[in-house]
Amino acid sequence: MGWTEGPVVVRTPATSANLGPGFDSLGLALTLYDDVEVEATGKPGVSIEVDGEGTEVADRGEQHLIVRVVRRTYDILDDLAGTGPERRPPGLRLRCRNRIPHSRGLGSSSAAIVAGIVAARELHPGGELLGDDAALRLATEIEGHPDNVAPCLAGGLTVAWTTPDGPRLVRLETKITQVTAYVPEQRLATEQARGLLPETVPHGDAAANAGRAALLVAALTGGLDTSVLLDATEDRLHQDYRAPAMPESAELVARLRAAGVPAVISGAGPTVLAFTSASRVDSIAPGVGNGWLKHPLDVATRGARVVTGESTLRS
């Protein structure tokens, strides 16, 4: 079996990690997508076209994140298949239609990483040798933690954890289907947000978050009435520590929660995620999100997938 001829298109969902108390473990896939078209070419070099988010990095060539991920996945597949890089088509062509906001806490880097892995697996003749567990392990190694890559790969609500043998995930069906993301113009690098976290936290805060995270999983999967979501999304481990880097986001979360809306910082921020429809937020607290880009979204039941023939890249 040879290399796939022609391009493949991979669609990856946005994701929201932490979901309040589930720091570095809980993640949710959302119906906001990037489409990435990748083609292995016989001409050496890299060609990249970007529409939407990320146009400022379109000229990075071999240093572009997706290109680096594709090349790294090729290396792993070569080892698994017993082939060498001399048998690869030397060039790559990328066309990206990016809808997921960058550096806003909606998993744009995880979407790029997963797109590169899925595309390389589809293009390479030994692609089936890289199973889903190995794909999760590779994506986590590149991203640094599994909470965003897990829902991007699997869809739905995921619980991710790390063992001595690597990361693992469980995918769960959710009772909640509608959420609203409030996206500011401000960007915030994940590394900057992580740098604000203390090395230790009070035992009482850790215990409170453990209980809230368990309650949140029960509420989101239908085990409890959704009215407990306000309590279930309470966090003491990361949001307050990060608030100085995103005061407007922290203030919006406080305003929404005061109005009875379960709201959290999405991932490392600064996007705010509300566990309800946009129309309900507007009816409870009209004007509360003014000045923010409002995305009414559903939970994405499917993770990253090849959609060649369905892509909106040419629309």
Reported as a single tens digit per residue, the pLDDT across 284-301 is: 877 777 789 999 999 999
Residue 107 labeled ligand binder: yes
| Residue % of the chain over a pLDDT of 70 | 97
Any binding-site annotation on 110? yes
The annotation status of 266 as a binding-site residue, yes or no, is no
Q: Is 105 annotated as a binding residue?
A: yes
Q: Which of 189, 106, 184, 188 is nearest to 152 (CA)?
A: 106
pLDDT of residue 110: 97
Whether residue 283 is annotated as binding a ligand: the answer is: no
Q: What is the pLDDT of residues 63-117, one digit of tens each?
A: 999 999 999 999 999 999 998 888 889 999 999 999 999 999 999 999 999 999 9
| Confidence (pTM) | 0.94
Q: How far is CA 58 from the centre of its chain?
A: 20
Strand runs (DSSP E) across the chain, as ranges? 8-18, 22-41, 45-52, 91-98, 157-163, 166-172, 178-183, 263-265, 272-274, 293-298, 305-306
Q: How many CB atoms lie within 10 A of CB 44?
A: 9
At residue 289, φ and ψ (nearest 5 deg) are -105, 15
Encode pLDDT of 141-159 as tens digits.
999 999 999 999 999 999 9
Mean pLDDT over 3-22 rounds to: 95
* 238 annotated as belonging to a binding site for a ligand: no
Residues 16-33: b if buried by 16+ CB within 10 A, e if exposed: bbbbbbbbbbbbbbbbbb
Whether 26 and 235 have beta carbons less than 8 Å apart is answered as no
Does 145 count as an annotated binding residue? no
Domains of the chain: 8-171+300-306 (3.30.230.10), 178-298 (3.30.70.890)
